[in-house]
Structure 1
Amino acid sequence: MIRPCMIVVVGDLVTDVLVAHDGPIEPGSDTAAAITVGGGGQAANTAAWLARTGRPVTLVAAVGDDPAGRERVAELTAAGVRCAVRAHPGAVTGSVVVLAGPDERTMITDRGAALLLDPADVLRAIDAAGATHLHLSGYPLLHEGSRPAGLQALAAAAGRGMTTSVDAASAAPLRAVGAEAFLGWVRDCDVLLCNADEADVLAGDGPAQEQARRLTAHARNVVVKQGAAGATWAGRDGVVRAVRPERVRMKDPTGAGDAFAAGLLAAWCAGEQPEAALKAGAALGAEAVSAIGARP
């Protein structure tokens, strides 16, 4: 049954400095690359891709009261995202240098004003949006300054009977906070998404199917994203589903996981079954890797 769904996304909105290089980086010398500057942030990217699917979506985030912050909000508004974004005077909008090679990307991050995400702003935006689903980027939970806002988002959603999803965000900060703490914060969320590296941190080594099964002790449904190898969904019903995307020429992997999450959530929140949601996520992820940049 297809049902209406209003989604609130909580997390980060930053500037991406994308460095797309075809070969290895030459330390201490020059490496040829195409460099672009634009909007980024896991939560903001997911919101933009959700808007691409036609879903009503609100982004809750924090930026600096600076030109970069105003540009980032304007980009998302033009893309159809409702922005509940506070501009903090004296703070600098976060920025990320993304080193995108042919097969992988590395991020060098300055969280900036993203660490100032305010629990009161999150609560106000959730109530104003009248949303039925909360999607939380894991980044707020992974940093002490923004963690109260991430926890407030999950508590508010639970108290209002909303469904919830969480993206595990990034392997290195996950290791820093520890799997036990993170899984405690997101316990019993409806959908937990993680990529292969994040699944290793949260569930230990093993096949994606087994990792997803283990993590259903903490979340009702778990999706392990495996890039070109596809994705795996496990639920507490004991059934494991998997999908492999169509092969496409990859230009840039930046934002592909965020696009996948958007496609999957747009379908699942509308009442589609897990197999259909996985296919929708894979289709949007394939669109993302076929172009340069993290947004539609």
Structure 2
Amino acid sequence: MSDTRFDILAMGDAMVDVIAPASEEFLAEHKLPRGSMQLLSPEAADKLYDAMGVAEEHSGGSAANTMAGVAAMGGKVAFIGQVADDQFGRIFRHDLHALGVHFDTPPIPGPPPTGRCLILVTPDGQRTMNTAPGASHELVASQLDPQLIRDSAVLYLEGYLFGPEKPRAAMMEAIDIAHGANRKVAFTLSESVCIAERRDPFIDMIQGGGVDLLFCNGEEARVLTGAPSAEAAMAQLGDHVPLMVVTDGPNGAMAATSGETVRIDAAPVDKVVDTTGAGDLFAAGFLFAHCRGAGLEKSLQTGAIAAAEVISHYGARPEADLKELISV
């Protein structure tokens, strides 16, 4: 949009990912939910961190990863998220700025510390996430910059952050500001384990017209709606969400709007190394193409290419030059 400063502004957890390989035995020993996500206290996170093997540290957070991907494609993006004034907080800020993402949310003194996500990756590339949200769940509406929201064509919200009362209130305020400025609101459900305790607020927001574009995978769509299939869930939500995008891992993805449904195959990848960030980068590719006026099929294909790149290596941020891989 010509009257905006940014293509996309995201709100989400401001996290540092700590990624290490792990055996199935390690997951069983520590009672970790394989392939899923659990919340940890800072103390429990410290204990698991001490038990992990050699790790890589990357600035992360679902929506922040998506903005990093869009920036790598040449998009103009910004991020709102809460960090503490500590080492991880400074790492997070530095990394976003280095990637070209506008980020100026003031840090809080702490405690709690900046959030961490301890990610264990098994030999098949599956990731098990153990999240200590820390300061990220201290985001409040007073930290919002209304003009930044008005200056962005799309407001992108992360489901992980929608549970706690304070950041949820901030998100609802941001939705009102965005829609008041005739901007679009996109939302990602983030993780099926988050949905059960947040289902009613999610449904209320969606049925209230808060979401213009909904991202989820098939399991999340079924859990949210109780429908027997992703297709049935899309039909059920179609009256409330103008555009819905559902991913299905190696089976590809589909998008539906105004009675039109488009399906694509997954992009090829030589070897799946780490599925961390696959959904985040899919959203990045889709949003980047969509903001440039691409149709559903092209937007889905761009998302699939970005997702294929990120699962070919450790970490949830792209390593290859995405500008060379996509054509939008």
Normalised to the residue count of structure 1, the TM-score between the two structures is 0.91
- The answer to whether the aligner puts 1:116 opposite 2:122 as a matched pair is no
How many residues matched? 292
CA distance in 2, matches of 1:207, 1:200: 6
Specify whether residues 211 and 65 from structure 1 end up closer, same or farther in structure 2 by C-alpha distance, changes over 3 A only: same
1:280 paired residue among 288, 295, 302: 302
Match for residue 43 of structure 1? 63
Alignment of 1:1-296 (within 5 A): 6-21=7-22, 23-25=24-26, 27-28=28-29, 35-91=55-111, 92-101=113-122, 102-124=124-146, 126-127=148-149, 130-178=151-199, 180-187=200-207, 188=209, 189-235=211-257, 237-248=258-269, 249-296=271-318
- Between 1:271-280 and 1:19-28, the stretch displaced more is 19-28
Deviations 1:58-106 (A, max 9, x none): 0111001111101111011101111122210123101111122225322
| RMSD (Å), alpha carbons | 2.3
Structure 2: where are the runs of 5+ without partners?
31-50, 319-328
Amino acid at match of 1:95: R
Q: Say if 1:10 and 1:122, in contact at 8 Å, map to a contact too.
A: no
Opposite residue 138 of structure 2, the aligned amino acid is L
CA contact (8 A) 1:209 1:240 kept: no
Aligned partners of 1:3 and 1:244: how far apart in 2?
35
| SS of structure 2 residue aligned to 1:291 | coil
Deviations 1:223-249 (A, max 9, x none): 1111111111112x1111111122211
Amino acid at match of 1:228: P
Native 8 Å contact 1:22 1:33 kept in 2: no
- Structure 2: distance between partners of 1:125 and 1:88: 21
Asked whether the equivalents of residues 219 and 230 of structure 2 are also in contact (C-alpha less than 8 Å), the reply is no
Give the Cα–Cα distance (whole angstroms) in 2 for the partners of residues 73 and 97 of structure 1: 19
SS in structure 2 opposite 1:87?
Answer: coil
Is the contact between residue 14 and residue 94 of structure 1 (CA under 8 Å) also seen in structure 2? yes
**Which residue identity is paired with 1:8?**
L
Correspondence for 2:43? none
SS at match of 1:177: helix
Write the letter of the residue equivalent to 1:202. Answer: L
- Does the 8 A contact of 2:76 with 2:101 survive in 1? yes
The answer to whether the 8 A contact 1:256-1:289 is kept is yes
2:147 & 2:192 partners in 1: Cα distance? 29
More displaced, 84-93 or 208-217? 208-217
Could you tell me which amino acid in structure 1 is paired with residue 106 of structure 2? R
Measured in 2, the distance between the counterparts of 1:70 and 1:285 equals 27
In the TM superposition, residue 253 of structure 1 has moved relative to its aligned partner by 0.3
Q: Distance in 2 between matches of 1:280 and 1:3?
A: 25
User: Percent of counterpart pairs with the same letter?
Assistant: 32
